[in-house]
Amino acid sequence: MLPFQPYQELAQELLPLTLDGDDGSHDVAHLHRVWKNVRQISRNEGGDLRILCAAVLLHDCVTVEKNSPQRHLASRMAAEKAATTLAKLNWATADIEKTAHAIEAHSFSAAILPQTLEAKILQDADRLDAIGMIGVARCFYIGGRMRSALYDAADPLAQRRQYDDKRFTLDHFETKLFKLQDKFQTSTGRTLAAQRTARMQRFLNELQEEV
C-alpha cells in the first residue's frame, strides 16, 4: 500500500514543506509510521481522515532539538505554519482550526489536552512511534544526537542514584517511555500502547542480562 493513501495528492503538496532539519527520528519514515498508526486507530475510533492526514504530514514541520529551551513551543509553531500552509490551499477555516489544534496538542512537552477526536488520534499515533521496538531505536538514536552515554556502567538501572536521562539514554525508559501508556487518549491507542510497552520491557530485561 502506498503511503498516505487515499490522500496522495495532498501528500505531494505538503511533503516538501513538512520536514525542517536533519533529525532522523522525525523524518519521512516517521510520518509514514504515524499515518499507519492513525489508520489503525481510526478504523475503530472514527475521525476525519483528511484532517488527520494533513495533521500527520505537518505535525513536525517545525522541529526543535530535545535539549532546546524552546522545545515546548515546537508544536505551537508547527500549528501556526500548518494553518498558513492550508490557508494557501484554500482549506475551510474550520478544517484548518481542527488540523492546527491536533498538531499543537500532539506534543508531549507542550502538555496541551486534545479537545477533538482527531487531536486524540494524532497524539496517540505519534506517541505509539515513541514506544515499542521503533521507540527503542529512536530513543538511542536521539541519545546519540545529544551525546548521552548508553547507560551508567556502575549502576545501569539507577538502583543507587537518581535517574538522569540527559546523561544516560537508558534512563529515559523510566523517566518517560514506560509512563506514556497511561496517557493515551483512545481505547485502541491504549491497547496498542500496552503491547508496545511490553516489548520495551522485554528489551530492557534482555539488555540487563547482557550488561
Does 56 reside within a domain? yes
Cα 26 to Cα 97: distance, rounded to the nearest angstrom: 23
Please indicate, yes or no, whether residues 64 and 156 belong to a single structural domain of this protein.
no
Cα 138 to Cα 11: distance, rounded to the nearest angstrom: 24
Does 122 reside within a domain? no
Gyration radius (Cα) of the chain, Å: 17
Name the residue type at position 195: Q
Question: For position 21, what pLDDT does the model report?
Answer: 66
Does 124 reside within a domain? no
Residue 188 belongs to domain with CATH number: 1.10.3210.50
Please indicate, yes or no, whether residues 67 and 140 belong to a single structural domain of this protein.
no
Please indicate, yes or no, whether residues 40 and 97 belong to a single structural domain of this protein.
yes
Closest residue by Cα to residue 104 from 112, 116, 96: 112
Please indicate, yes or no, whether residues 100 and 166 belong to a single structural domain of this protein.
no
The residue segments making up the domain with residue 143 are 130-211
* Residues 37/125, Cβ–Cβ less than 8 Å: yes
Residues of the chain with pLDDT under 50: 1
Question: For position 138, what pLDDT does the model report?
Answer: 95
* Residues 42/185, Cβ–Cβ less than 8 Å: no
Q: Which of 110, 142, 177 is the last residue of a domain?
A: 110
Percent of the chain topping pLDDT 70: 93
Name the pTM for this structure: 0.92
Name the residue type at position 59: H
Please indicate, yes or no, whether residues 63 and 102 belong to a single structural domain of this protein.
yes
Please indicate, yes or no, whether residues 97 and 147 belong to a single structural domain of this protein.
no
Please indicate, yes or no, whether residues 77 and 106 belong to a single structural domain of this protein.
yes
How many other C-beta atoms lie within 10 A of the C-beta of residue 141? 14
How many distinct structural domains can be found in the chain?
2
Please indicate, yes or no, whether residues 166 and 208 belong to a single structural domain of this protein.
yes
Please indicate, yes or no, whether residues 152 and 98 belong to a single structural domain of this protein.
no
Question: For position 153, what pLDDT does the model report?
Answer: 95
Does 125 reside within a domain? no
Question: For position 108, what pLDDT does the model report?
Answer: 80
Q: Which of 110, 140, 165 is the last residue of a domain?
A: 110
Q: Which of 110, 140, 169 is the last residue of a domain?
A: 110
Does 118 reside within a domain? no
* Residues 58/81, Cβ–Cβ less than 8 Å: yes
Question: For position 62, what pLDDT does the model report?
Answer: 83
Does 202 reside within a domain? yes
Please indicate, yes or no, whether residues 90 and 136 belong to a single structural domain of this protein.
no
Please indicate, yes or no, whether residues 105 and 135 belong to a single structural domain of this protein.
no
Does 123 reside within a domain? no
Question: For position 18, what pLDDT does the model report?
Answer: 79
Does 120 reside within a domain? no
Name the residue type at position 17: L
Cα 9 to Cα 57: distance, rounded to the nearest angstrom: 12
Please indicate, yes or no, whether residues 27 and 105 belong to a single structural domain of this protein.
yes
